[in-house]
Structure 1
Amino acid sequence: MPTPRWVAHANKFSLNLITRYIAPWAPGWALVVHRGRKSGRVFRTPLWAFRRQNRYVIALTYGSESDWVRNVLAADGCELRTRLRHYEVGSPRVYRDARAADMPLPIRLMLRYVLRAPDFLSVDILRELP
């Protein structure tokens, strides 16, 4: 079971305000830049993301029904800022992996035993942006 929605809502107005500045350069973090399905507004969501060959895998700590996930799926991609690089990513795919095999060991343990969040989003790197 992913982290409860009330925690996501609280983080939106607290922790995310801080991690939004850390995510573009800190290892293991990324800033997902996506557009709202209804509003058309641009949003920046800080997340755990790890590169695996020509794709990124993002831990869905709040589950696959989060607004940002639905926005990325509807748009068939987004922009990703991580490690001071900027990518256009596409072909988003939500999948479940109870073992969290694509995550580094400390994150894997947290996702499996603390957060109990088995869902992930995989996105292919289309190109690096300037």
Structure 2
Amino acid sequence: MSRTPLPKSLARFNRVVTNRIQGVWAPFAPPLAVIVHKGRRTGREYRTPVLAFRDGRRLYVALPYGSDTDWVRNLLAEERGGVERLGRAGRLTEPRVVTEGTDASGAGLPGLARRIVRHMDVLVADIEEVPRGTARMPGRADTG
């Protein structure tokens, strides 16, 4: 069962207004990041600002609107995507949504991050750094 603490109306507003503004600084301002994903129907590349925390080779992305948002469904359908975080590009593999259990606890995360991911659905993915000098962002052809 999906835990959705924030209303869908706020999600729609954020998609149309806030995400366009946050997308400018999210790749550089932790704990924000940008998830790059391919549309299931359009094949178009999309960029979605998110709240993300890293623990080693694992990325935890808070899902305040639940796991049925378009960007989550796109990432799960493709089984890969990209991320821009701290000014660096990375590839995401094996994305999965966790609603409870030890995988969502983020045991290695700082206290605040651990509390956040404990109270909502979380997308967990393995992350691989993209070497500097390669494509700036792992798009369709570069996600592996």
TM range (shorter): 0.7 to 0.9
The answer (yes or no) to whether the contact 2:53–2:113 under 8 Å persists in 1 is no
The answer to whether residue 80 in structure 2 is matched with residue 77 in structure 1 is yes
**Equivalent residue letter for 2:125:** V
Find 1:105's aligned residue among 111, 123, 126: 111
Any gaps of 5 or more consecutive residues in structure 2? Answer: 135-144
Greater per-residue strand proportion: 1
Q: Percent identity?
A: 37
Q: Which consecutive aligned stretches of 4+ in structure 1 deviate over 2 angstroms post-superposition?
A: 97-112
**Distance change >3 Å, CA 91–CA 12, structure 1 → 2:** same
Q: How far did residue 26 of structure 1 move?
A: 0.4
**Equivalent residue letter for 2:105:** A
1:109 and 1:91 map into 2 onto residues whose CA distance is: 23
The answer to whether residue 12 in structure 2 is matched with residue 9 in structure 1 is yes
- Partner deviation per Cα, 1:61-109 (whole Å, 9 max, x = no partner): 1100000000000000100000010001110111013896325434555
**Residue aligning to 1:41:** 44
The answer (yes or no) to whether the contact 1:89–1:127 under 8 Å persists in 2 is no
RMSD in angstroms over aligned alpha carbons?
2.1
The answer (yes or no) to whether the contact 1:35–1:71 under 8 Å persists in 2 is yes
**Residue aligning to 1:118:** 120
The answer (yes or no) to whether the contact 1:76–1:92 under 8 Å persists in 2 is yes
**Distance change >3 Å, CA 53–CA 95, structure 1 → 2:** same
The answer to whether residue 31 in structure 2 is matched with residue 28 in structure 1 is yes
**Equivalent residue letter for 2:94:** S
Any gaps of 5 or more consecutive residues in structure 1? Answer: none
1:41 and 1:79 map into 2 onto residues whose CA distance is: 14
Q: If the length of structure 2 is used for normalisation, what is the TM-score? A: 0.78
**Distance change >3 Å, CA 125–CA 108, structure 1 → 2:** closer
